[in-house]
Amino acid sequence: MEKIKVGFIGLGNMGSGMSLNIAKAGYDMVVHDINREAATDLLELGTEWADTPKQLAESADLIFTSLPGPPEVNAVSIGEDGLIEGVSSGSIWIDLSTSSPTLIRELSKNFEKQGASVLDAPVSGGVKGAQTGKLAIMVGGNEKIFNQIKPVLDSFGDKVSYTGSIGSGSICKLMHNTIGYGMQMIISECLTLGVKSGVDAESLLECIKNGSVGRGNLLNVTLQDTYLQGKFDPPNFALKLARKDVSLALELGREYDVPMEAASHAYNELTAAMNRGWENKDSRISLLLQEERAGNVEVRLDQSK
């Protein structure tokens, strides 16, 4: 895209790394944070300082915000001396925060009245990823605008994905994080049970990492070949065998007095699927029960792509 001036607000753990990578890519920048000292490294590189979000928006063509959450996003965007008071027709605001999809959709409507475009683009990869430019960036909003500003996104992220209309990037990020924390729960159950029942932590972790779980097969292979295509026959691993395995783990948990709440939920789901007469189908067929509870939502990949 033509030469632009980039504004960046929020120079904390994540924002500092991302903004530095943008600056190092050669873009003219203006920055703002509630703590001016956070901008020291950027100012030494020749970036400008803005005293308020409004002032920053008045001089920047493309604005990034990296903030803790919805209250801060709302305040910086439409609060006193907020971005909306400084943007002009053609301005682009991209929120990198992990925030509310509903909020960003509402804010987008307000900015559209000023002739400005809004994209939500939460990131994943942690502080190290922000520093090294190894971030996943999940972008929602106008696809034409996305394609226009993608080179800037590429300056601080190595996996940039367009996800759909405004708010869809935030939805993807929230689903990603919630899956991660849910996985932590059942991992902690199985690690504590494994150690308490006699396996040292190093050996247990090595076996889990070496198995299909640790190799990432569930997301990268198994679900794509079964559930995400709605194909459960012939089975990759039969439902009745999966239920048997989880049952044995729960039996071990009772023997060693280790609570297994997440595993118990998995067992109950597998049992409910068994009661549908699906015992000889692929075990992933149990996931159809959640689709039913969600209002008969079908989660399927587009096989034409």
Q: Which residues are catalytic?
A: 173
Measuring CA to CA, how many Å separate 269 from each of 140, 160, 174, 198, 273? 33, 35, 24, 28, 6
Q: CA 229, 171, 106 angle in degrees (round to 5)?
A: 135
Strands 123-124 and 117-120: unpaired
CA 46 to chain centre: 32
**DSSP-assigned states of every residue in 21-75:** HHHHTT-EEEEE-SSGGGGHHHHHTT-EE-SSHHHHHHH-SEEEE--SSHHHHHH
Torsion, Cα 8 13 14 18, to 10 degrees, reads 60
In angstroms, the CA 172 to CA 163 distance is: 8
In angstroms, the CA 102 to CA 79 distance is: 18
Name the 3-class secondary structure at 119.
Answer: strand
Which residues touch 252 (CB under 8 Å, ≥6 apart)? 193, 197, 258
Which residues touch 266 (CB under 8 Å, ≥6 apart)? 186, 246
Which residues touch 21 (CB under 8 Å, ≥6 apart)? 130, 131, 133, 155, 156
Name the 3-class secondary structure at 283.
Answer: helix
